Chains A and B, each alone.
Chain A
Amino acid sequence: MDGVAVRAVATKRVWAAALSAAWLLGLVASLASVVRYKTSPGAEGPTPARWPEASTLPHSPGRNTLVLFLHPECPSSRASLAEFNWLMNDALVRETTDGVVVFAELIQPPDPHAPFSSWARAAEVPNTVRRLDVDGAEAARFGALTGGHAALYDGDGALRYSGGLTNSRGHQGDNVGRRSVLAVVTGSGRAAPHRPVYGCALHDPTDATEEPP
């Protein structure tokens, strides 16, 4: 190989090395943007400290009621519903707590037979009822603006926990919110009264905080 060819190869490799370095930075930036997106919480309204009288949702006196608001189409709803299901499958929780999953009403109702349908999955959760939130009235009563918002009221109607059941957007697995609900119900362990909510905006499409780009 003559000198010109050697220099050409060397130049090409310098460019390739520079490109690789830039690529590495881009890779880190992409991962960072994912983390940022996943850990950005949704909006919340004030959750009433007492069970709203005007609510039409079932609440049995003497029993805890865990209400979960979901957007029926949002992919993050699957993670929140999965955590809700995990809690409701706990024997102690099921013994003392009733579940209510409230789906936001959409103009175009989702296909209940579609794969991964949250509406269909919610029907399989023990000790739980499904409700369609017409015009978002219940969400407004409970101050729920983002899908995945859960509120736990005890048998006296007092709010014991408000917030998400996942630690980030669409992320299943052990998290503080789930543990807090469990701690409240079982009376053991540390319980945080509030955690951020991760999910899709339930009603207001113009809210910029719902879905960052």
Chain B
Amino acid sequence: MLRKVLPAAALAVVLLTLMARTRHSDVPLDAEDDWMPSSTSSSSWSDGTWEVRLEELRTLPAYREAEQALRDLEESRSALLKSADASDADAMLAAGANYQRTLQLNRDKLSQLGEYLDPAEARACLQDLVQQSQEGDQRDAMILEIRLGILAGVNSW
């Protein structure tokens, strides 16, 4: 149960702060330059221009820090699951505390990234980060929970 619920819920919770910034943001960008797509409507996400912009944003230092923080979270989550499997109460307590710290760090890093992104860019980046950091089934579970609005405050993907 823990193995199933934790990965999906935890990363989604991490994204909450930034998600709050990205709601109701379908207003198209109307003055984009050579390095930006001409529209940010969700329907254009499959457009190749978005890929180009996303590629650029992946070099943004704040994006890289968020990426690293997500990788750290994956590691601390694995450690927590391992200690749960081993039924080692002390190790689980320590891993849990570490997990909490990493979770907070993630919130901070993602919130910081949001400060440097247009809300439309933030949505694209979040999807990108989730895709990079989650294995297929976990990612699907998380997106499903977000879409169903199970996680409070997250219902606009």
Q: Are both chains from one complex? A: no
Binding site for A on B (CB under 8 A): none
Binding site for B on A (CB under 8 A): none
